[in-house]
Amino acid sequence: MMVALSSQTEINLPNVRGKQERNAPLAKLTWFRVGGTADVLFTPADEEDLAQFLSALDPEVPVMPIGVGSNMLIRDGGIRGVVIRLGKNFSNIQCDGVTLTAGAGTPDIAAASAARDHEIAGLEFLRGVPGTIGGAIRMNAGAYGTEVADVFESATAVDRSGQIHQLDAGFMNFAYRHSDLPADFIVTSATFKGQPGERAAIEQRMQEISDAREESQPLRTRTGGSTFKNPNGHKAWQLVDEAGCRGLKIGGAMVSEKHCNFLINDGSATAKDIEDLGEEVRRRVLDTSGVSLTWEIRIVGEVAS
């Protein structure tokens, strides 16, 4: 199959068992529900299919993985090259003693629930992390006092050339909302280690996390999750609030009045509205506090022409 990229070049797409879609709309795949199209959207059948696809694809063609789009803003001009989405075939979960192995497409909440069912304590925090295991690994996601680094044991990833790698914690070099995972590595599965626990106690902790999120975050809106990283010694939401940004609007984008570290699409926003609003918040916070906020949401793609 030949696919024309925006650069007017053409690429050959390898024969695969998974699904390939040209000029694929991406907005429906993100929590913000905004963004342009991908030249190609590829949903591999399994890890082998992914590896074979990458090894056969022209190395000059850019590749970008996405999960459920919870912490991602795709610009209105879309994404050139191939977007890879790991679907339900990458959502298997296996538990053995106090370890849990999950495919990268597994929703974080599903991993937390499986750990509860197998009485593995320590993974309750995943109940409060939006997204999938693959994204959680890359950004060392965390919530309510625990992060991936605290329970990470190993991961499997496929690089741009199609080589499969086994990764340990030393390779990942986790830091706050960061890992050293190379940009061209696509995580396909990960193993976590918890400790023995009682189902009732695990369930109670998960419910506490769920209740806390419900009370404090705008969960029923089109949002991308936590927008800015917490700077050292500060809470991002408080800096945003003190800068007078609560409820601030640009176009169809608004700073949540419920939680100032969340941006909301009221249903009419473009990706540009959301990015412009975030940058305006960063400017006001810097002016009032001297602190430069860093985006936690990943902004990708091209500005619309």
Q: Select which of 177, 205, 222, 282 is catalytic.
A: 177
The rounded distance, in Å, linking the Cα atoms of 95 and 101 is: 6
Kind plus residue range of the DSSP H or E element containing 153 = strand 152-158
Query: Which residue among the candidates 47, 147, 275, 296 is catalytic per the annotation?
Result: 296
The CA-based diameter of the chain, rounded to the nearest angstrom, is: 59
Euclidean distance between CA atoms 245 and 261, whole angstroms: 10
Residue 77 CB neighbour total at 10 angstroms: 17
Annotated catalytic residue 246: no
The Cα 62–Cα 116 span in angstroms is: 39
68: tokens are: 């459920």
Cα-only R_g, the chain = 20
Helix (H) or strand (E) holding 196: strand 195-196
Residues 210, 128: contact at Cβ < 8 Å? yes
226 is catalytic: yes
Is position 215 annotated as part of the catalytic site? no
**Long-range contacts of range 169-172, CB-CB < 8 Å, 24 or more positions apart?**
172/137, 172/140
Q: Is 267 exposed, middle or buried (0-12, 13-18, 19+ CB in 10 A)?
A: exposed
Q: Which of 113, 179, 189, 226 is catalytic?
A: 226
Taking CA atoms, 44 is separated from 33, 50, 51, 90, 105, in Å, by 23, 5, 9, 9, 11
Catalytic residue ranges? 177, 226, 296
